Amino acid sequence: MTRWLIAGLTLAGCGHGDMLPQRYLCENGRVADATFEQQTARVSVRGEAFDLQRVPSASGARYTSSRATLHAKDDEMLLSIDGRELGPCQEVKPGG
């Protein structure tokens, strides 16, 4: 079983140091922070971080690692870690 996370994307090609994490609130009340680049994503949940590589996707952007899978589209994401789903998750907009 895999976990999915749907998230808004900012694919500007900047390095991790140049990009601020986007915050997502998942339906189970958990918070996930994600930083996206062209070919990689870094997701932090409950003090644990996951580095994922982009893979082909028919819609949105999909990233995967040995423990996590993330599917991002618009301002939503679906995340799966160690076979357990966290989402769907909605991006928390600044000032909102």
pLDDT digits (tens, 9 = 90+) for 3-22: 333 333 333 333 344 567 89
Given a cut of 90, is residue 86 above it in pLDDT? Answer: no
> Do the beta carbons of residue 96 and residue 16 sit within 8 Å?
no
Given a cut of 50, is residue 42 above it in pLDDT? Answer: yes
Q: Which of 21-52 are b and which e, b meaning 16 or more Cβ less than 10 Å from the residue's Cβ?
A: ebbbebeeeeebebbbbeeebbbebeeeebeb
Set out the domains of the chain in order of their start, with CATH numbers.
Answer: 4-91 (2.40.128)
Q: Is the peptide bond before 56 cis (omega within 30 degrees of 0)?
A: no
Reported pTM: 0.74
Q: What pLDDT shows up at residue 19?
A: 67
Q: Check the CA dihedral 93-64-31-76 and report its sign.
A: positive
Q: What pLDDT shows up at residue 92?
A: 94
